[in-house]
Structure 1
């Protein structure tokens, strides 16, 4: 199923003209992904290498490098406001945006809302989302309902919450006369996204449903087919975990060519 993208012809639209290759994590943690695991210059050099690998695998599609920052992080304790989430400093966002500028990379600010809400967390991000190179990610795994604690259960987002985010991004694009904004939603189970058919696409927003599961290649492919391909929204993403995908003896990372053999071909690739 191909979902029409009204935003694709807008000036400055990234998808489907370029494939995004992103490094994910948080500079304050070596355990949350490659973005914070090694020194910034080494990390950017490694990103350069992955960009070249993808360009070689699909020369017809230019690659847009990206840094995907976990900017609101879920917590196992309630914290001061009782929301089980920690908002990072303005300085951290500014720092990652400055790193990205060295590579003409775009930036995703990702939120893990805990027991907060999408509505409560997005307004603060407008100061960065009004920049043409900054986009949004939301992780339903850490969107907790019914008093659940992040990390103990897998969370969930409903289409209505996602629609709030797409509308927020659309309004920002119009307000500041920006190229289309991109929204990445992570997913690796059925319940992580409910009522997907009710997700509303916007004329100034490009939507990526991102396969965020880890494991061997057979498991990752089945997750992609079951929860991404079978419940299409617009564009698709695929995540590669440098460590978790190789935990099983004999397991190897998906290569770009192997990912490109999937249908539909993912347009957003994330390395953690």
Structure 2
């Protein structure tokens, strides 16, 4: 899909990738000796800036037409929290760029100082490789540039972007942090794009993390007109964790979700999520994992060994969860049917932005298998056909990313696991570890499953109330490495 150009006042900076915001409106007059306008006014539009130039230098080029003053920071000062905080405060208050100087960045920084016409420098720490300034100053002696007139650009940056890039962004723009280089990542980033859509100013991303200009433009377009997920934003992880009750409505034997009604289940999972929030740095979103098709011990019609619950029976649960900010994953136990056939049956529910899909290969039988006699399995080809359909469904319906969960506790359950496609932009694939028993047994299962984990798979974990001895606490669950992002309770 080709994204339309969005006129907005946004500049994006990636993790370690800086985003350069372009000022709109008339440049403000500098307070320095020259009195020349300080800020640039680049043309509107969406683009990605990439290359070998340091991120802070790219930002300085985009944000400043000139500046009589600059702050240069040596590596030792960047490592000093107090000096780093002081530089950030002054840069934001006085509106001057901050440039880190290392042997690698010194040539680019020297060139940028010449372009800016810098006369006065503050040097923090050891700064080598850049010609001595005409005038040296302390931080508090800087006169700075006047604030930008009109609406300031917005710089979207990832949380581990270089410190000097963050400081330079904050010196001349409003800043929104995102956990990944994606304008859809958080409620704040989405709201910023929506609010700025009518303002004819520039959108810039810096660095390969944002993809090509076309890819970035498509994501900006999606951010503007795609529904948000529970907890905000349109990208599932890493901006949130999920904690789910597992089971099926009115079926207590299948899990805790079926042991109370809708309202009580929502209240129960909210309380469970709150327990995890106390030990999670990320927001924790409550979730349901609803078994939509239930494995059967009897052949049933067509000898499929599965009972598909009518979507209309599940709809009240799904819709109530959506209103309550609870994510829903529909879990399939297809017996002798295939996953894609069953997934299509639930398309109307999957069309809701807060609903994802889970495949449980334990209950996927060959034509000659029966449940509880053999452990089922599924091949990569069937998994990929299902995910390809779901990804296309997300694109066609203009939906946010969906969870695509693959349950596993035995190596044979996912045949040819390395061949499973994990890089569809519309989905985030979770490998869900279903091992139970003592902590040692659970951790042995976990270690087997994470060995040679395909790139792009996030990890999920299941806690059992009765089969685990004991059930892991929230703190113990999140202490598992790699950390699970989707936790369910059975």
Report the TM-score, using the length of structure 1 for normalisation.
0.91
Aligned to 2:160: none
* Match 1:218 to one of 402, 421, 440: 440
1:182 to 389, 397, 403: 403
Alignment of 1:1-272 (within 5 A): 9=185, 11=223, 12-58=234-280, 60-201=281-422, 202-233=424-455, 234-245=457-468, 251-272=469-490
Indicate the SS of the match to 2:268: helix
Q: Counterparts of 2:289 and 2:181 in 1: how far apart (Å)?
A: 25
Q: State which structure, 1 or 2, has the greater radius of gyration over its C-alpha atoms.
A: 2
Cα distance, 1:45 vs. partner? Answer: 2.2
- TM-score normalised according to structure 2 size: 0.51
Distance 2:480 2:454 in 1: 14
**Given that residues 72 and 111 in structure 1 are in contact (C-alpha distance below 8 angstroms), is that contact kept between their aligned partners in structure 2?**
yes
Moved more, 35-44 or 182-191: 35-44
Using CA pairs under 8 Å that are at least 6 residues apart, name the structure with larger relative contact order, 1 or 2: 1
Contact 1:188 1:227 in 2 (8 A): yes
- The answer on whether the counterparts of 1:119 and 1:164 sit within 8 Å (CA) in structure 2 is yes
Q: Report SS of the residue matched to 2:252.
A: coil
Query: In 2 relative to 1, CA 212–267 (structure 1 residues): closer, same or farther, beyond 3 Å?
Result: same
Unmatched segments (≥5 aa) in structure 2: 1-179, 186-218, 224-233
The two structures, once aligned, show a CA RMSD in angstroms of: 1.8
Deviation at 1:103, TM superposition (A): 2.4
Partner of 1:183: helix, strand, or coil?
A: strand
In structure 2, relative to structure 1, the CA distance for the partners of 1:64 and 1:96 (3 Å cut) is same
Partner of 1:248 in structure 2? Answer: none
After superposition, give the CA deviation of every residue in 1:211-269 in whole Å (9 maximum; x if it has no partner). Answer: 01211111111111111344345100000011111xxxxx3211121122222100000
The CA deviation at 1:50 is: 1.1
